[in-house]
């Protein structure tokens, strides 16, 4: 295991110490460093909380900030935070307008967020939930509720965060988050494994010349394992699956996220985006927003994912709004 | 024993703690086949924490309060799927036996019915989905029948355990629908479900405890 | 070689295509995609140009934008761009106030920038040069002119870019850049090799449990190769070398950059920063500015570098100024 | 031949092109020992481009113009250290032989003196720093002496080549001070400098060309 760490058991907590040292814009609730909240709670605003396992930076906590989220419960590497932690985050960020949970479709997270919502309800805090399930590879059409949540949750955060910043109600913010969720699809491809610090060896093995299309961000099995193909062919296959999911017409517009899983150089992500752009051009679909970089990683896994949100006017406008967190800045041109 | 008292309950959690400490590696390996290998870690962690918490609280708190403490402690100690599901189970069981001085067959049936229902509600799984529910359901049903026909606790638990073991065996034929295993789809056929295995461990240890 | 690419020969040009597609804020001069310039040239402002080999994103071209640089000549992977390309960038960005070159101390780059300066001079464009040499590991005290330029150039860009944006003269901008250069030190550590696409295999080999302190961002040999130590011990060694270079007194302040070389997860960079912060605390030195992430990479190399700029009031103020490029946003709190 | 004409020069670039195409792998390996393995690639690329450019331009352009074209082409084709240094050398040589109809011993001496000075100025290296300069300096000196004593071109080039070969051998004892090799410090002792090797290749091919 080639990692900069001290005792693997302290991995998450020492990372958090570094984060609090570096970024006074975030702090923590209930004396628990794993209950990360904005230092700048906005009175009267609908709160948005997320949470999930560590090992995916900047996901999840990196999106806590202006125009995005208000809090994030932080779990161990690839492990759900506790319902108690989610509940503490909820209590801290609630401003009387209710709290929206946005997180990925993993059973550990669901069960804990459900329990946190129950606890919050006992305090009279209104909670709604939107569960990201953008990973096309993780289940077939018709069984979308079984799909995992991956990098596409970024667009759900972005749209919902902007809506909450505009002062919309919990119902409205939840409606918008849900629309962003329903219109977002992601396909991933992995080239190498990650290593969970407390485990110390690769989560899975993959040949020196192989890729796995559709692999999950914890190493969940994908759709096909084949020889590494040229970048354009990889994108063609991924985009074909994304296009097949929604009815894209000439003149439609999209937001695109080309996300690195951790070990893949930024140069390569731009080579992938070049082809994504060509394919969208061929369909006369306009790229209104694009982000390229590391947005939802899997430690040092080499690989990438492509997320596409099929925009309508409302999502276009909200995704374009400014945002500022310690890990993500958006300053509209 | 005919019924489980508050002081028995504290010792029962000790027995569960010892059990999951022994079965830690086995559960890690079992969860590792079509999961993320954390089940042995989370179960040993959460039962160790619960056993300490109920011992610290003491028998004076009464059965319902001890179960609530166990559930709340487990939820904090191991927020994995199974950690939170079992925590939920104990919290619901606590409510179901509110006021009971001891758990006879009727109270034990109420306990496991609430335990099952809590987990079913929280996890939204159905019987046949290859989860812990597949053993909790026969456990609850068998105990309810035993209570209705007035069977003594030890006999009721022996029947429930036998039903659970049979049900565990039956999970081998199922395709996982929930949690990390679901991603492996058909590859899960032939393997017994890890969570259902935990369910059998729980009832078996309870049977042995009550028989002693 | 596990990379997303098509023909390795097209690596840089396809990457650039992706960049121009994604970021309308940058364009290119003289019909040559490797002459990247801002689309938003500021009349009357001193121009700042950089350049160097590809494979270090977001370095170099990623810092072209508001409050930073105006152009970047883009070379092949780890290869200098040509003097002609540098000259074309220079001509395009010059607004009559002269152009400052800021680049790293590598012979190929120096020779070409010198030649470009000569060509620009023939056109009557005034050019000054500041050559980054922040890598402590690459030569001893007294031979600083032999040191390589690495991630610390970010602070030189930042200070000079802010100075130019304020409308200062070429002499002033060059003075500030040079001061930032003289007060910046970097130490790096590598855990694994990068792979140059046209070569196709690792540049160097390193044991599964080894690290190399002081290795350069092209795989140049470092100071010591030892067993991978705990994160805190690695930081202690790196910071000891940085502290030894300048006279840090209690009450002084610094800007810190913890930079990932490409393959190292962000989580680990925060674990490193935690220790950097502790060591600065021990000396009562204040961290005024901190950036953590990938700022100067070496393809997929696992490893990190720590850069520290010993601030004075002027550098503190300029480094804190806003900046916005497609790859880097700074919005002061 | 007694002097090199414009049409000879075009053929000389062809000879250099052929030479570096043959020596490509050798130079890659040599630069790979304490460098980045690009020297064979850049030299074969830049001389191929230059040979094509001067051929396209044609002998009518005259020697100085051809040399300028060669230098400018090389600068664009291969902006590595050695690529830009040799480009600079040809640009300076072009100025030094401005107006010459052919390169006799005197003009060839002027050519190499300018070539050396241009590279020295651009690269800021000194003799003894283990660079191409270590062979260019004896080449320029030997040719200047030969010109002063009125030696014929072929003999002058033979002497210059011998001096260059000796100087190349001497680079083995030096520690690299410039470029990528400098990072390897003492490890460069025992190895001949890659750039100096290019210098010997250039003069050797010129000698053979003039002798033919
Ligand atoms: N929705 C669910 N309802 C009931 N049981 C579930 C559910 N999802 C998973 N399980 C059970 O949890 C077990 C795995 O537990 P655990 O290892 O804690 O999960 P994870 O590692 O995914 O958090 C499975 O074997 C299954 O019995
Ligand atoms: N400053 C310099 N002046 C003269 N020659 C130099 C200088 N730096 C390097 N060289 C020569 O360049 C050779 C290496 O050339 P090349 O491989 O093109 O360098 P790089 O790959 O670093 O750009 C060295 O062997 C040396 O002879
Ligand atoms: Mg990375
Ligand atoms: Mg598990
Ligand atoms: Mg990376
Ligand atoms: Mg070289």
Residue D52 lies in a domain: yes
Neighbours of D11 (CB within 10 A): 17
Output the six-digit token pair for C107: 């012979």
User: What's the rounded mean pLDDT across residues B154-158?
Assistant: 98
Q: Return the percentage of chain C with pLDDT > 90, whole number.
A: 95
pLDDT of residue D211: 93
CB contact under 8 Å between C80 and D79, yes or no, is: yes
pLDDT of residue C308: 98
Q: Return the percentage of chain D with pLDDT > 70, whole number.
A: 100
Output the six-digit token pair for C243: 């502290």
Ligand 1 pocket check for B178: Cβ under 6 Å: yes
pLDDT digits (tens, 9 = 90+) for B157-167: 999 999 999 99
CB contact under 8 Å between C107 and D79, yes or no, is: no
pLDDT of residue A201: 87
pLDDT greater than 90 at residue D68:
yes
Question: Closest residue (by CA) to atom 19 of ligand 2?
Answer: D81
pLDDT greater than 90 at residue D189:
yes
User: What's the rounded mean pLDDT across residues C187-202?
Assistant: 93
DSSP labels for C69-89?
A: BSEEEEEEETSPPPHHHHHHH
pLDDT greater than 90 at residue C236:
yes
**Considering chain A, what is the average pLDDT of its residues?**
97
| Rounded Cα gap, residues D160 and D137, in angstroms | 10
Residue D1 lies in a domain: no
CB-based contact A81:A73 (threshold 8 Å): yes
Output the six-digit token pair for B83: 């950690």
User: What's the rounded mean pLDDT across residues A278-292?
Assistant: 98
Peptide bond into A58 cis (omega under 30): yes
User: What's the rounded mean pLDDT across residues C228-241?
Assistant: 98
- Comparing alpha-carbon positions, the chain A residue that sits nearest to C189 is A4
pLDDT greater than 90 at residue C293:
yes
pLDDT of residue D179: 87
pLDDT of residue B78: 85
pLDDT greater than 90 at residue A1:
no
CB-based contact D165:D142 (threshold 8 Å): no
Q: Which domains are delineated in chain A?
A: 8-182 (3.40.50.10440), 184-330 (3.30.1180.20)
CB-based contact A173:A98 (threshold 8 Å): no
pLDDT of residue A27: 98
- Tokens 């320029």 belong to D140
pLDDT digits (tens, 9 = 90+) for C46-103: 999 999 999 999 999 999 999 999 999 999 999 999 999 999 999 999 999 999 999 9
* C119-C123-C129 Cα angle (round to 5): 55
Separation of B83 CA from ligand 1 center, angstroms? 9
pLDDT of residue D202: 98
Residue D94 lies in a domain: yes
User: What's the rounded mean pLDDT across residues D101-129?
Assistant: 97
Residue B48 lies in a domain: yes
pLDDT greater than 90 at residue A267:
yes
pLDDT of residue C95: 98
- Return the axis-axis angle of helices D133-148 and D105-123, rounded to nearest 10°: 150
pLDDT of residue A199: 82
pLDDT of residue C201: 87
pLDDT of residue A122: 83
pLDDT digits (tens, 9 = 90+) for B53-105: 999 999 999 999 999 999 999 998 888 899 999 999 999 999 999 999 999 99
pLDDT greater than 90 at residue D184:
no
Residue B1 lies in a domain: no
| Rounded Cα gap, residues C38 and A39, in angstroms | 35
| Rounded Cα gap, residues C296 and C217, in angstroms | 8
CB-based contact C253:C319 (threshold 8 Å): no
Q: What is the CATH number of the domain that holds D172?
A: 1.25.40.340
C75: which chain D residues are within 8 Å (Cβ-Cβ)?
Answer: 79
Beta carbons within 8 Å of B89's beta carbon, 6+ residues apart: B71, B114, B115, B116, B118, B119, B136
pLDDT of residue A203: 87
Cα-Cα-Cα-Cα torsion A198, A201, A205, A209, nearest 10 degrees, comes to 120
Residue A219 is classified by DSSP as -
The minimum-distance atom of ligand 1 relative to the CA of A79 is 23
CB contact under 8 Å between B76 and A79, yes or no, is: no
- Counting the structural domains of chain B, the total is 1
Q: CA of A7 to nearest chain B CA: how many angstroms apart?
A: 17
Give kind and range of the element (H or E) at residue C305: strand C303-310
Which domain range does residue B201 map to? Answer: 6-211
Question: Closest residue (by CA) to atom 1 of ligand 1?
Answer: B123
Tell me how far CA of residue C165 lies from CA of C27, C73, C168, C288, D193, in angstroms.
20, 21, 7, 21, 45
pLDDT of residue D183: 84
Peptide bond into C58 cis (omega under 30): yes
pLDDT greater than 90 at residue D55:
yes
User: What's the rounded mean pLDDT across residues D63-75?
Assistant: 95
pLDDT of residue D70: 97
CB-based contact B174:B187 (threshold 8 Å): no
- Return the axis-axis angle of helices C83-93 and D63-77, rounded to nearest 10°: 80
User: What's the rounded mean pLDDT across residues A11-29?
Assistant: 98
Cα-Cα-Cα-Cα torsion D24, D30, D34, D38, nearest 10 degrees, comes to 0
**Considering chain B, what is the average pLDDT of its residues?**
96
pLDDT digits (tens, 9 = 90+) for A108-146: 999 999 999 988 998 999 999 999 999 999 999 999 999
- Comparing alpha-carbon positions, the chain A residue that sits nearest to B86 is A111
Q: Please tell me the number of Cα atoms within 13 Å of C46 on its side-chain side.
A: 29
pLDDT of residue C213: 97
Tell me the best of D42, D179, D187, D202 to mutate to test the pocket of ligand 2, counting ligand atoms within 8 Å of each CB and taking the most. D179
pLDDT greater than 90 at residue C289:
yes
| Active site positions of A, annotated | 56, 218
Neighbours of B93 (CB within 10 A): 27
CB contact under 8 Å between B123 and A108, yes or no, is: no
pLDDT of residue A166: 98
pLDDT of residue D37: 84
- Tokens 């033979």 belong to D158
pLDDT digits (tens, 9 = 90+) for C313-326: 999 999 999 999 99
pLDDT of residue A111: 94
pLDDT digits (tens, 9 = 90+) for A183-238: 999 999 999 999 999 888 898 999 999 999 999 999 999 999 999 999 999 999 99
Beta strands in chain C (DSSP E): 26-28, 35-38, 47-54, 71-77, 99-104, 127-132, 184-190, 210-213, 224-227, 253-260, 286-293, 303-310, 323-324, 329-330
Residue B109 lies in a domain: yes
Output the six-digit token pair for A284: 């006369």
Interface test with A, best of C189, C205, C267 (most A CBs within 10 A): C267
3-state helix vs strand vs coil in chain B, percent to 5:
75, 0, 20
Q: Return the percentage of chain B with pLDDT > 70, whole number.
A: 100
Residue B77 lies in a domain: yes
Residue D72 lies in a domain: yes
CB-based contact D155:D191 (threshold 8 Å): no
pLDDT of residue A177: 99
| Rounded Cα gap, residues C331 and A330, in angstroms | 10
pLDDT of residue C199: 82
């Amino acid at each position: 295991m080639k990692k900069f760490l001290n005792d693997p058991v302290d991995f998450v907590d020492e990372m958090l110490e570094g984060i609090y040292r570096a970024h006074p814009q975030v702090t923590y609730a209930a004396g628990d460093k794993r209950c990360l909240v904005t230092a700048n709670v906005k009175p009267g605003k609908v709160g948005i909380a997320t949470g999930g396992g560590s090992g995916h930076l900047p996901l999840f906590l990196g999106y806590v900030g202006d125009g995005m989220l208000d809090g994030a419960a932080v779990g161990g590497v690839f492990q759900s935070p506790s319902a108690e932690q989610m509940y503490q985050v909820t209590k801290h960020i609630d401003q009387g307008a209710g709290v929206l949970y946005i997180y990925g479709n993993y059973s550990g997270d669901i069960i804990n967020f459900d329990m946190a919502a129950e606890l919050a309800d006992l305090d009279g805090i209104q909670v709604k939930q939107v569960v990201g399930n953008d990973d096309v590879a993780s289940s077939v059409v018709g069984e979308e509720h079984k799909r995992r949540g991956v990098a596409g949750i970024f667009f759900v955060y972005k749209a919902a965060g902007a809506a909450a910043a505009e002062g919309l109600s919990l119902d409205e913010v939840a409606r918008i988050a849900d629309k962003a969720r329903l219109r977002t699809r992601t396909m991933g491809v992995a080239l190498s494994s990650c290593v969970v610090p407390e485990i110390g060896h690769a989560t899975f093995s993959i040949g020196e010349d192989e890729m796995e299309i559709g692999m999950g961000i914890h190493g969940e099995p994908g759709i096909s394992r084949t020889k590494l193909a040229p970048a354009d062919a990889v994108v063609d296959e991924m985009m074909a699956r994304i296009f097949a999911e929604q009815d894209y017409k000439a003149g439609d517009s999209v937001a695109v996220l080309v996300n690195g899983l951790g070990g893949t150089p930024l140069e390569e992500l731009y080579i992938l985006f070049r082809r994504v752009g060509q394919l969208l051009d061929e369909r006369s679909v306009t790229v209104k927003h694009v982000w390229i970089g590391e947005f939802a990683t899997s430690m040092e896994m080499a690989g990438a994912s492509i997320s596409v949100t099929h925009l309508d006017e409302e999502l276009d406008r909200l995704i374009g709004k400014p945002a500022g967190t310690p890990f993500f800045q958006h300053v509209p041109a | 024993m005919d019924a489980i008292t508050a002081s028995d309950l504290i010792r029962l959690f000790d027995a569960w703690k010892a059990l999951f400490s022994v079965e830690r590696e086995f559960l890690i390996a079992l969860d590792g086949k079509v999961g993320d290998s954390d089940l042995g870690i989370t179960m040993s962690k959460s039962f160790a924490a619960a056993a300490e918490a109920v011992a610290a609280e003491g028998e004076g708190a009464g059965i319902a309060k001890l179960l609530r403490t166990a559930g709340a402690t487990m939820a904090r100690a191991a927020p994995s799927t199974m950690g939170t599901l079992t925590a939920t189970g104990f919290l619901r069981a606590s409510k179901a036996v509110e006021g009971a001085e001891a758990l006879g067959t009727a109270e034990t049936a109420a306990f496991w019915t609430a335990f099952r229902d809590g987990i079913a509600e929280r996890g939204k799984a159905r019987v046949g989905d290859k989860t812990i529910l597949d053993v909790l359901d026969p456990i609850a049903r068998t105990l309810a029948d035993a209570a209705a026909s007035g069977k003594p606790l030890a006999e009721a638990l022996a029947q429930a355990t036998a039903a659970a073991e049979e049900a565990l065996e039956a999970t081998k034929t199922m395709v996982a629908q929930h949690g990390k295993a679901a991603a492996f789809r058909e590859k899960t056929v032939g393997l017994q479900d890890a969570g259902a295995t935990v369910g059998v461990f729980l009832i078996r240890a309870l049977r042995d405890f009550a028989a002693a």
